[in-house]
Homo-oligomer: A and B are copies of this chain.
Amino acid sequence: MPRLSYTKALNRALGDELERDPAVCVFGEDIGAGIAQLTLGLLSRFGHDRVVDTPLSEQAFTSMATGAALCGLRPVIEFQIPSLLFLTFEQIANQAHKMSLMTGGQVHVPVTYVVPGSGSREGWAGQHSDHPYSLFAHVGVKTVVPATPSDAYGLLVSAIRDEDPVVVFAPAGAMNVRDDVDFAALGPVPIGQARVHRAGDDVTVVALGHLVHDALAVADELDGEISVEVFDPRSVYPFDWEALAGSVGKTGRLVVIDDSNRSCGLGAEVIATVCEEMTLTAPPKRVTRPDGAVLPFALELDRAVQPGRDQLIAAVRTVMK
């Protein structure tokens, strides 16, 4: 089977959707040149009416996408860096997200926001290393964080076809992942549907994005000693609680590894919901970024702040005690 990289998968998904639906268009900085690779080759294929290089006015072009969506288009926005989601939080959380309810259903806003290279890029420091997906889960904007090339393809396609705003985080740490892929089988992956990458009996490890690969490595490492189920929600919001109940119902133990800041992050939500509604045989554990984390520049500091395999192993061992 051919190998497909995560980056190419996103590029292919976007190209396929532009091809399929003339309402799809793309806004972003330097997307004509395709410097983030997401849009490579798309300007020459689809032209300036579909692939629009924007000035550095993220707030205006984010709401511009909303306006275009109100008129029947399905815009996709590329943000060069994750913290541009802070800059445009008003436009996404307070405008695009709220319009359907506030108008009593008169309009909807099918816009997709993609961040190729979310989380740490190693050495990009405090303002370029955020992973703010939990913020969108909190305000209730649909949010996906694919871990593999086929999920990247499928979730981007679903995001574009969705009638509501959707944020797609493509973690920098996953963008070099390659997979054997049957191109004919590539297709939409439903938003809100989890994926169990590896079945296990002893403990459920919830992991997202690039951390899925760390969780899989840890599961391998612990193989024989502890049987780890690697549960990838794929969507942060809506979350596939039903599937998680199935997994936790089997294992009775839970560890979440989450590249958010600790307080009020996805890890908190997963543990809270499980503890309210499901039954565990041992206290759960989170492995996250610290509270209030700002990623320091120096590599050893940058890494020290991110959740990692050793911490995950320790957490899994603790819940197994």
Whether a CB of chain B sits under 8 angstroms from the CB of A93 is yes
Flag whether A265 is at the interface (Cβ < 8 A).
yes
A101 CA to B296 CA in the complex, in Å?
7
Write out, one digit per residue, whether chain A residues 123-144 have a CB within 8 A of any chain B CB (1) or not (0): 0011100101011011111000
Q: Which of B98, B102, B285 contacts A276 (CB 8 A)?
A: B285
From residue A131, how far is it (CB to closest CB) to chain B in Å?
Answer: 11
Question: Given A275-B271, A291-B237, are A126 and B102 also a contact pair (CB < 8 Å)?
Answer: yes
Is A127 a contact of B94 with CB atoms below 8 Å?
Answer: yes
Q: Does A38 contact B (CB under 8 A)?
A: no
Bound complex: CA of A86 vs CA of B130, how far in Å?
Answer: 17
**A135 and B92 alpha carbons, distance in the complex (Å):** 14
Interface residue? A64 (CB, 8 A): no
Asked whether, in the complex, the Cβ of B286 is within 8 Å of the Cβ of A276, the reply is yes
Q: How far is the CB of A129 from chain B (nearest CB, A)?
A: 10
Q: Which of B94, B102, B140, B286 has a CB less than 8 Å from the CB of A261?
A: B140
Q: Is the CB of B125 within 8 A of A102?
A: yes
Residue of B nearest to A141 (CB): B292
**Is A111 among interface residues, defined by CB-CB distance under 8 A?**
no
- Please count how many residues in chain A sit with their CB below 8 Å of the partner chain's CB atoms: 51
User: B90, A140: Cβ atoms under 8 Å?
Assistant: no
- For A266, the closest partner residue in chain B by CB is B264
* A147, chain B: closest CB distance, angstroms: 20
A216-244 vs B: 1/0 string, CB under 8 Å?
Answer: 00000000000000000000011100000
- A83 contacts chain B at the CB level, 8 A cutoff: yes
Q: With an 8 A cutoff between CB atoms, is A57 at the interface?
A: no
Chain B contacts for A102, CB-based, 8 A? 125-127, 294, 296-297
A97 near B: Cβ within 8 Å? yes
Q: Which residues of B contact A271 (CB under 8 A)?
A: 268, 271-272, 275-276
Most buried by B among A130, A135, A286: A135
* A252 at interface by CB-CB < 8 Å: no
Chain B residue contacts of A89, Cβ below 8 A = 86-87, 89-90
Report chain B residues within 8 Å CB of A284: 272, 275-276
The answer to whether A87 touches B90, judged by C-beta atoms less than 8 angstroms apart, is yes
Is A261 in contact with B294, judged by CB distance below 8 angstroms? no
A283 interface residue per 8 A CB criterion:
yes
Please name the residue on chain B nearest to A83 by beta carbon.
B94
In the assembled complex, A293 has its CB within 8 A of some CB on chain B: yes
Bound complex: CA A302 to CA B292 (Å): 32
The answer to whether B294 and A98 touch across the interface, beta carbons within 8 angstroms, is yes
Give me the interface of A with B, judged by CB distance under 8 Å. 83, 86-87, 89-90, 93-94, 97-98, 101-102, 125-127, 130, 132, 134-135, 137-141, 237-239, 260-261, 263-269, 271-273, 275-277, 283-286, 291-294, 296-297
- 16 CB-based A-B contacts, threshold 8 Å: A86-B93, A87-B94, A102-B294, A138-B264, A139-B292, A140-B291, A140-B292, A140-B294, A237-B291, A239-B263, A264-B269, A267-B272, A268-B273, A271-B276, A272-B284, A276-B283
